[in-house]
Chain A
Amino acid sequence: MSKPNYERQNPAFYALLVALILMAIGPIVVMLSTSLRLNVDIMSDTSSLFFLPTIRNYEAVLCDVLWYKPDGLDYCDPTFGRALVSSLIVATVSTVLTLVIGCMAAYAIVRFRFMGRDTVSLFTLLMRMVPPAVLLVPIFGIWTFQFHIDGTRMGIILIYVAMNLPFVIWILQSFIVQVPIQLEESARIDGAGPFQVFFLIVLPIIKPGLAAASIFTFRIAWNEFLLANALSNRNSRTVPVTIVNSLTQYDVDWGKIMATGMLLAIPPIIFTFVASRQIITGMTAGAVKG
């Protein structure tokens, strides 16, 4: 990494690279460009690469949360604005909860070693394997008839926290293992209690691990459809649920739905560009390091 000593490659190699990049982001570009077109443009026979971009679709989707009233829009559908708020609350709260709870558990497992790392890793693997579809029936039954939290955001948050915890504990413990124990011992000698050691010494050191874990948790909570669909009502519906609902209508308004899809895709895209290194760390932690 010290000196940028790049090998020269032949032109065919670069052509291949360009083709790969086009394939990877092509569908996303198609979605973006569709979301910027008027419906007449989308449906016309003569599609062209050049068109006049318009933010009309975004205005129609966001009309409820915009600070101004878009012109030329006679009816405002509040579904999406509401779903966006719901999605933001659900994803943020469940990410914060998962991280706090997961962090404490990971620390206990590593430092107080009353469970073997083998037990933890087997448990993590087993929980990671459980598909959301399998949870559908029991979660519906329990949430509705026993906990009475169906239709609330809290119900959705609870299952997201539970689903993400094993993975977060696993990722974080692999970072906590690397924190030198001497550092903690010297803090203990200086009179810090276990909670102080944890919050003031350990947490700042494992920041990269926290970043990776929070991105993964947020992404799952933000993108999940199946359980949110089963547990939400009109007021707590999240964005993925509204997208699927509007797709089942007979006449699909492609411009508007692509704008919705784009809005749903923007947070993960931003995370990817800001923190791709942490994401790759998180992805490879389970497999490559073993």
Chain B
Amino acid sequence: MKTTLANRLTPYMFLAPAAAVLIVALLYPLGYVVYASFLDWNPSQRIGQAEFIGLRNYYNLFSDESFRESFFVTIKFSTIVVTLEMLFGVGLAFLLDRNIRGMSVLRTLFILPMMISPIVVGLMWRYMYHPTVGIFNRTLKAIGLDPIPWLSDGTWAFTSIIIADVWQWVPFIFILSLAALQTLPQSVMEAARIDGASGWQSILYVKLPLMMPVLVITFLLRLIDSFKVLEVILVLTNGGPGLSTEVLALRISRTATEFRELGVAAAMSNILLFMLLLLTLAMFFYNKLTAIRAFRLKNIAVEEV
């Protein structure tokens, strides 16, 4: 009797610490941020002393010109960055999907940019973008061209943070799509070759459609992550010049720490969270859908045999 009770309790004992940590340090804060968004609250007040102002934070945000600007910058940044990264990453995967010596070394070197701290990535690029000692302007000067205001002009600053992000995250797409490419069924490739498909044809009509499930997931994962990018931009421009590079995540952090308006920051957090929630649910249901479709196809194949 005693052992069966112990056995019945075992799963809960195994699960209890994780559940406790997640509830206390993740779910509770997420509930807290929803509540905080209805408050007019600054960091020196306890939350109980903050005034409850209902939806006014949200109302103010939507009529705030600079918040809309920031929102637009975020969308623009994520769209451009993810599009470029998908193009380069998938392209490189097709190009390097060959049986060559040193492929594993290459892959190892490609992971480096992702493993290094975003703060350090920002640091490296900030040095390279430096107006006088940076490697880019030095090179431009050496070949007799005018220096470029990498971080001090709005449009260039936006381009600069895109370059840095693309550098850091193309390898992610590359490695995922290469993994997808190399797990494609060999028999299909062979069939395409026997039917006389050219290299381009087999990529366009055979490989890409087969990789599509993985590519969609990779795309959504990267899109979600691109809304979180903050540290690299913080080090490079801190959102400036003006609002040209102030993405939403950075604006949240600045509103909380520099402008000390926790309620407003919480309201912005919820807006960001809501956008990401939609993307995540889209990803989950897409995953489900492809799993169901694969299952059905298998059943049909079995029935036909």
Contacts and interface: CB of A to CB of B under 8 A. Distances in A.
Nearest to A141: B47
Interface stretch (B78-86, B174-182, B199-207): B174-182
Interface stretch (A73-81, A160-168, A203-211): A160-168
Could you tell me the dominant secondary structure of chain A's interface residues? helix
A280 B104 CA distance: 11
A151 interface: no
Given A132-B228, A269-B115, A194 B10 contact: yes
B107 A6 contact: no
Interface in B114-152: 115-121, 123-128, 133, 135, 138
B205 to A, nearest CB: 22
Contacts of A276: 104, 107-108, 111
Interface residues of A, number: 93
A226 B253 contact: yes
B116 A265 contact: yes
B241 interface: no
Contact of A272 (B28, B115, B128, B287): B115
A273 B11 contact: no
B283 A126 contact: no
A277 to B, nearest CB: 8
A171 interface: no
Contact of A129 (B28, B29, B256, B277): B277
A283 B89 CA distance: 15
B18 A102 contact: yes
Contacts of B15: 104-105, 108-109
Nearest to B250: A133
B224 A223 contact: no
A22 to B, nearest CB: 10
A142 B273 contact: no
A17 interface: yes
B100 to A, nearest CB: 6
Contact of A158 (B25, B138, B172, B179): B25
B2 interface: no
Given A6-B101, A108-B11, A244 B256 contact: no
Given A114-B11, A122-B284, A257-B123, A240 B117 contact: yes
Contacts of B280: 125-126, 128-129
A235 interface: no
B284 A125 contact: yes
Interface string A151-180: 000000011011101100100000000000
Interface residues of B, number: 98
Interface string B87-100: 00000100110111
B197 interface: no
A247 interface: yes
Contacts of B228: 131-133
B266 interface: yes
A27 to B, nearest CB: 4
A134 B272 contact: yes
Nearest to B182: A288
Given A6-B100, A129-B277, A101 B252 contact: no
A222 B221 contact: no
Interface in B168-218: 171-172, 175-176, 179-180, 183, 213-214, 217-218
Contact of A194 (B7, B101, B125, B227): B7
B119 A47 contact: no
Interface in A104-162: 104-105, 107-109, 111-112, 114, 121-122, 125-142, 145, 158-159, 161-162
Nearest to B49: A145
A39 to B, nearest CB: 10
A249 interface: no
Given A6-B101, A109-B15, A223 B92 contact: no
Contacts of B230: 131-133, 226
B178 to A, nearest CB: 9
B113 interface: yes
Interface in A26-82: 27-28, 30-31, 34, 42-43, 47
A134 B252 contact: yes
B120 A243 contact: yes
Contacts of A265: 116-117, 120
Interface of B: 7, 10-12, 14-15, 17-19, 21-22, 24-26, 28-30, 32-33, 36, 43, 46-47, 92, 95-96, 98-101, 104, 106-113, 115-121, 123-128, 133, 135, 138, 167, 171-172, 175-176, 179-180, 183, 213-214, 217-218, 221, 224, 227-228, 230-231, 234-235, 248-250, 252-253, 256-257, 262, 265-266, 269-270, 272-273, 276-277, 279-280, 283-284, 287, 290-291
Interface of A: 4-7, 9, 16-17, 20-21, 23-25, 27-28, 30-31, 34, 42-43, 47, 101-102, 104-105, 107-109, 111-112, 114, 121-122, 125-142, 145, 158-159, 161-163, 165-166, 169, 194, 198, 219, 222-223, 225-226, 229-230, 240, 243-244, 247, 254, 257-258, 261, 264-265, 268-269, 271-273, 276-277, 279-280, 283-284, 286-288, 290
Given A23-B167, A261-B120, A279-B115, 13 more contacts: A27-B128, A34-B127, A43-B133, A105-B19, A131-B249, A133-B249, A141-B47, A230-B257, A243-B123, A244-B235, A264-B120, A265-B117, A286-B221
